Amino acid sequence: MLKCSSAEARAAARAVCRESATAWEFLSFIHRNLHDEEGNHYAKEDWIKVARELGLQDIPADKSLLIARVRESGQDYRKLLRSLH
C-alpha cells in the first residue's frame, strides 16, 4: 500500500496524482476498496476542509467520526479530496 505518513510523502503523492490520471485512478481504486487506507491517506485537516466544502454542520473532533460523516453525506467527497491534490 502507499504509505504517506509524512507531509513530504503526502505532497509527493498529491503531485503524482495531479499529473497522472492513471495514478489517481489507482489511488481511487484502493480507497474505494480499502476505506481505512483512504482515511489514513489524508490528514484530519484535509477531511475538515472537505466537510466544510460539503456544508456539514457540527464537524466532529474525532477523525473517524469526521470521515464517517463525510462519507455518509451522499455527496461526491472524493472529487473534493482530489482537488486537495
Q: Is residue 1 part of a domain?
A: no
pLDDT of residue 24: 86
List pLDDT tens digits, range 1-17: 566 778 888 788 888 88
pLDDT of residue 54: 96
pLDDT of residue 2: 62
Q: Is residue 2 part of a domain?
A: no
In Å, how far are 33, 51, 61 from 45, measured between CA atoms? 23, 10, 11
Q: Is residue 12 part of a domain?
A: yes
pLDDT of residue 40: 85
pTM for the whole structure: 0.82
DSSP, res 75:
S
pLDDT of residue 85: 61
pLDDT of residue 37: 86
Q: Is residue 65 part of a domain?
A: yes
Tell me the residue range of the domain where 23 lies.
7-83
Say how many domains are in the chain.
Answer: 1
Residues of the chain with pLDDT under 50: none
